[in-house]
Structure 1
């Protein structure tokens, strides 16, 4: 029997992000997920090295890769709509959870438990903290997109940049890894390839 999981996951490249905004360069879900995975891994490494945590950085990277996989089924709901009110936010979270279960059922039964550990939060303080860092990586990726659009002369992302920075400033108080990443790595995102070399 053939299983559809990876064929469906490969369709992330067709899901465009920032649908309500004019983009100087479109970003798809596949690109975003890779960036979130890399940043989530970095945040966990920072936590382990600088703050003595015991976080599974490799698992965080996998969670980052799959964190929006449900959008292959649901589409990318624009943030202002998704978070319009608590009822809509709760309903959308339920739809995402159903989509995740549908995706997991596209795997052979014997592989499902291994992937459930990525898709579903496990117990433990380190697990919860790691997942907070993945969410922070998602915000950092969004902020980086805003920086890139601004540098391309697109003022369309001005409000998104302000609101994302506000969210990140709140996260910095709770998650010092976010502050470290922003201090150590954000500024070069505004540079040209020649300046980076």
Structure 2
């Protein structure tokens, strides 16, 4: 839930509580018969809310170009790191499914079925026999990245994978971190490099 949404909900809750306190205090007051009744339209003039955060919420304007590039990273890596070991020959099959988000040069380098120290290794065979599905969840950041340009964006992605066998899910540790660059091809951002 976004910070702005939390603040709105907190303000609504505070207004309800303030209204209940106001009504409850009206019932508690002693009526001596001499005081004029409060008008039926009386409402509290202000409601003050405080939050537990010490810093103000800053609404940072969204950049549609940057948002599109980060969406590309999330979509591409979610597909590239979601595996079906019972039917996929290797993680390369997942890269092939993510092909639409890669530049030609990146696709050529990734779609070669090579075995390296990266990847599941012997675990792949166990997942295949268990009919496991490996699902990826991707978070994108830009800590320490060079400044964005109109045609080149650098990002860091953290990929969290979960093994699902039947109704049992198990987190795969550790998460995988990759550094990616994106280039703009006409009006579409494409991944141009993935580095571990």
The normalised TM-score by structure 1 is 0.23
Higher RCO (Cα < 8 Å, 6 or more apart) = 1
Larger Rg: 1 or 2?
2
Q: Which structure's residues are more often strand, by fraction?
A: 2
Q: Which structure's residues are more often helix, by fraction?
A: 1
